[in-house]
Structure 1
Amino acid sequence: MNPARKLSAFILLAAGLLGWQGASAQAYPAKPIQWISPWTAGGGNDILSRALAEQLASRLGQPVVVENRPGATGTIGTSQVARAAPDGYTLTLASAATHATAPAIYSKLTYDPVKDFTPITLVATVANVLVIHPSVPAHNLKELIAYAKANPNKLNFSSVGAGSIQHLSGVMFNQLAGVQTAHVPYKGTAPAVVDLLAGRVQMAFESLPTMLPHIRSGALRAIGVTTPKRSAVLPELPTLAEAGLPGFDASLWYAVMGPAGIPQPVVKVLHDTVVASLQSPEVMRRLSEQGAELATSSPQELAEFVRKDTEKWSGFIKRAGVTLD
């Protein structure tokens, strides 16, 4: 084939591919979308997944069916998404637990948090708050650290289980503050809060909405939020970073993702539709109930965000020797 014919063939092929991609985007979605929530029904991930799925179904004109596939700190359902066809018909609400901390906790994780997923958009960040029982003789972070240093392992902190963001927040606190506090895992938030209120454990890194009534009643003392920015729910409360632990960032976040390789035209449809859905009163109400603050992004920004958060947690977790294998 002479050069002119080669060039013509290349142009025709490129035009055909572009035409296919355009037709693909225009036809999408042509069937129901499967949305996998890798956590149990009724939790924060499930609640936000269903609120978003309802909005997407209305805007895209196809059912968006939420399926709960919990287990192994969210990694079972997430691995199923990684193995799905990259056609835009399988989505998930990824989180810090499934994409930032799991790679360091599980040595045999079956997916790569960056390479095996197509990022769509960040959805929200959630602030946890460090609270202490009033029996602890500290009223701020400086006093708490001083007390912990003078009394190694006398302070216990609760969590909903090993490897949870609450547990790893305590790991980060110990390392940055240079203290020794002991982790006490529970099977769920309710029993952990009961023992915290009774003083059987003295500290916790729990969700701000859950702790807010106890903070306002004086049953627990708030020390600071775990996010880089103050929370709009309790704006007078400092972040732990500004209160004396520079670099403390134990944010819980949510983001929409699919398997790696989703065509860019479909990614754009999903990105624009999810961002629009996040502005709906119902989704905004659900975010507020979970203590979550809206935080959207481009797919490229989300990919970089996940990469940096994964690297950050890997250092803390490996130094602490936390594993769940």
Structure 2
Amino acid sequence: MFQLSRRNALKLMTAGALAPLAMPTIARAAGETIRIVYPYAGGSAVNNIIRMIADNMSKTLGQTVILEDKPGGNGIVATQSVARGPKDGTMVLVGATGTLPLNTLLRSALPYKIEDFQPVGMMLEGPLTVTVNTKTAPVDDMKSLVEWAKERNKPLHYATLGPGSVTHLFGVLFSKATGLPSAPVAYRNNNAQILDLLAGQNDLNFSTPASLIEHEKSGEVKMLAVTTSDRMARLPDTPTVVEAGYPGLLCSFWYSLMVPTGTPDDTVTRLNEALNIALQDAGIRERMEAECLTNNPGAPTAVTSILERDMKVWGDIIRSEGITLN
């Protein structure tokens, strides 16, 4: 994986001020502003972090970099617009789990395909959790959860963000890995599903750690595991699914930067280097850690690897369950 050395970072930062002379330039004819297109509504923690990344990249590149929120159609509107956009680095997509592998696997009439894009680099990953209400589920870990559910002998109801969402598919993966029957319950947003978890309306919740930490501190819920291979800094006492004996439950949601296929290699390299410098910024790293997100500087090939993983893992689930979306 590409590693940006301190020496190279200093060289690049110095060159940033002289970018028009010292580095391959992003097509000036299309204007100096670089638009990073975010496929969902603004205001979320992830959106704010990516905005910080854009601001940092602007300083390195010596060009204005803005984050443009473009929600609509489960990310299709924004993703399609970048697929048809200029191939000069001035229009960049925030590629995500939902917009690329999941939309591709779930929707037969999608107006774009993964091959329409080439990766710039991975920005961040986030895990899911296996969480229960402490009053309705008398369990302390994954082992006791499985034992309790088998004794209860009825399906575990788990919250999802709708058919085909990561939480829905993870629920299927969880059921296959544990041998426990389950039933998805769809919600419009994360807050609604957490409220129902607190009210004891659902047995399981797979929300992100950051959205559940305060509820765990109050004793209302317990995170039995996180879907990572290593424990998280903010959750040192929460085991991973690997430690719990379920390595097949390793998964994440992620956000990357993508450009239209055909964008010149030197432009991709320039954007990748600026992104990696941003990801090493102390303020950005601290903000990610606070949200239980993983900082992932590296080469464009890291995105390719994660895409291939998701197409295999989620593709197997989607095909076996016959899940499709219009």
TM range (shorter): 0.7 to 0.9
Could you tell me how far 1:210 is from its partner in structure 2?
Answer: 1.1
Taking structure 1 as the reference length, the TM-score comes to 0.86
Q: How far apart, in 1, do the equivalents of 2:245 and 2:223 lie?
A: 15
The match for 1:272 is 273
Q: How far apart, in 1, do the equivalents of 2:179 and 2:80 lie?
A: 36
SS of aligned partner of 1:67: strand
Could you tell me how far 1:39 is from its partner in structure 2?
Answer: 0.7
- Kindly indicate whether the alpha-carbon contact (under 8 Å) linking 2:157 and 2:203 is maintained by their aligned counterparts in 1: yes
The match for 2:67 is 66
The count of corresponding residues between Structure 1 and Structure 2 is 303
Q: Which moved more, 1:302-311 or 1:124-133?
A: 302-311
SS of aligned partner of 1:132: strand
Going from structure 1 to structure 2, the CA distance change for 1:131 and 1:24 (only over 3 Å counts) comes to same
- Kindly indicate whether the alpha-carbon contact (under 8 Å) linking 1:165 and 1:250 is maintained by their aligned counterparts in 2: no
Could you tell me how far 1:234 is from its partner in structure 2?
Answer: 0.8
Q: Where in structure 2 are the equivalents of 1:123-162 lying within 5 Å?
A: 123-134=123-134, 135-151=136-152, 153-162=154-163
Could you tell me how far 1:24 is from its partner in structure 2?
Answer: 11
SS of aligned partner of 2:188: coil
Could you tell me how far 1:25 is from its partner in structure 2?
Answer: 5.1
SS of aligned partner of 2:212: helix
- Kindly indicate whether the alpha-carbon contact (under 8 Å) linking 1:228 and 1:248 is maintained by their aligned counterparts in 2: no
The match for 1:86 is 87
SS of aligned partner of 1:257: strand
Could you tell me how far 1:94 is from its partner in structure 2?
Answer: 1.3
- Kindly indicate whether the alpha-carbon contact (under 8 Å) linking 2:275 and 2:297 is maintained by their aligned counterparts in 1: no
Could you tell me how far 1:313 is from its partner in structure 2?
Answer: 1.1
Provide structure 2 residue ranges, at least 5 long, that are not aligned to the other structure.
Answer: 1-19
Amino acid at match of 2:97: A
Q: Percent identity?
A: 28
Cα deviation 1:116-148 (Å, max 9, x = unaligned)? 111111112112211101211322112222333
Could you tell me how far 1:164 is from its partner in structure 2?
Answer: 2.3
- Kindly indicate whether the alpha-carbon contact (under 8 Å) linking 1:29 and 1:62 is maintained by their aligned counterparts in 2: no
The match for 1:307 is 308
The match for 1:26 is 24
- Kindly indicate whether the alpha-carbon contact (under 8 Å) linking 1:153 and 1:182 is maintained by their aligned counterparts in 2: no
Q: How far apart, in 2, do the equivalents of 1:260 and 1:140 lie?
A: 46
Provide structure 1 residue ranges, at least 5 long, that are not aligned to the other structure.
Answer: 1-21
SS of aligned partner of 1:253: strand
Amino acid at match of 1:131: T
Amino acid at match of 1:206: S
- Deviating above 3 A after TM superposition, structure 1's stretches of 4 or more consecutive aligned residues are 22-25, 149-154
Q: How far apart, in 2, do the equivalents of 1:77 and 1:228 lie?
A: 32
SS of aligned partner of 1:222: strand
- Kindly indicate whether the alpha-carbon contact (under 8 Å) linking 2:159 and 2:186 is maintained by their aligned counterparts in 1: yes
Q: How far apart, in 2, do the equivalents of 1:150 and 1:218 lie?
A: 24
Q: How far apart, in 2, do the equivalents of 1:75 and 1:290 lie?
A: 26
Q: Which moved more, 1:235-244 or 1:198-207?
A: 235-244
2:320 aligned with 1:322, yes or no? no
Could you tell me how far 1:150 is from its partner in structure 2?
Answer: 4.1
Amino acid at match of 2:119: P
Q: How far apart, in 2, do the equivalents of 1:220 and 1:127 lie?
A: 17
Cα deviation 1:188-242 (Å, max 9, x = unaligned)? 1112111111111121001101111111221101110012332222122222233
- Kindly indicate whether the alpha-carbon contact (under 8 Å) linking 2:25 and 2:267 is maintained by their aligned counterparts in 1: no
The match for 2:119 is 119
Going from structure 1 to structure 2, the CA distance change for 1:39 and 1:153 (only over 3 Å counts) comes to farther
Cα deviation 1:297-324 (Å, max 9, x = unaligned)? 2112322331222222100122122222
SS of aligned partner of 1:206: coil
Could you tell me how far 1:171 is from its partner in structure 2?
Answer: 1.8
Q: How far apart, in 1, do the equivalents of 2:217 and 2:46 lie?
A: 26
SS of aligned partner of 1:241: coil
Amino acid at match of 2:129: V
Amino acid at match of 1:142: K
Going from structure 1 to structure 2, the CA distance change for 1:178 and 1:245 (only over 3 Å counts) comes to same
Could you tell me how far 1:23 is from its partner in structure 2?
Answer: 8.3
The match for 2:48 is 47
The match for 2:248 is 247
Q: How far apart, in 1, do the equivalents of 2:54 and 2:172 lie?
A: 34
SS of aligned partner of 1:156: strand
Going from structure 1 to structure 2, the CA distance change for 1:55 and 1:149 (only over 3 Å counts) comes to same
Q: Where in structure 2 are the equivalents of 1:89-104 lying within 5 Å?
A: 89-104=90-105
- Kindly indicate whether the alpha-carbon contact (under 8 Å) linking 1:105 and 1:323 is maintained by their aligned counterparts in 2: yes
Q: How far apart, in 2, do the equivalents of 1:87 and 1:307 lie?
A: 26
CA RMSD of aligned residues (A): 2.1
- Kindly indicate whether the alpha-carbon contact (under 8 Å) linking 2:53 and 2:284 is maintained by their aligned counterparts in 1: yes
Going from structure 1 to structure 2, the CA distance change for 1:149 and 1:79 (only over 3 Å counts) comes to farther
Answer with 1 or 2: which has the greater Rg: 1
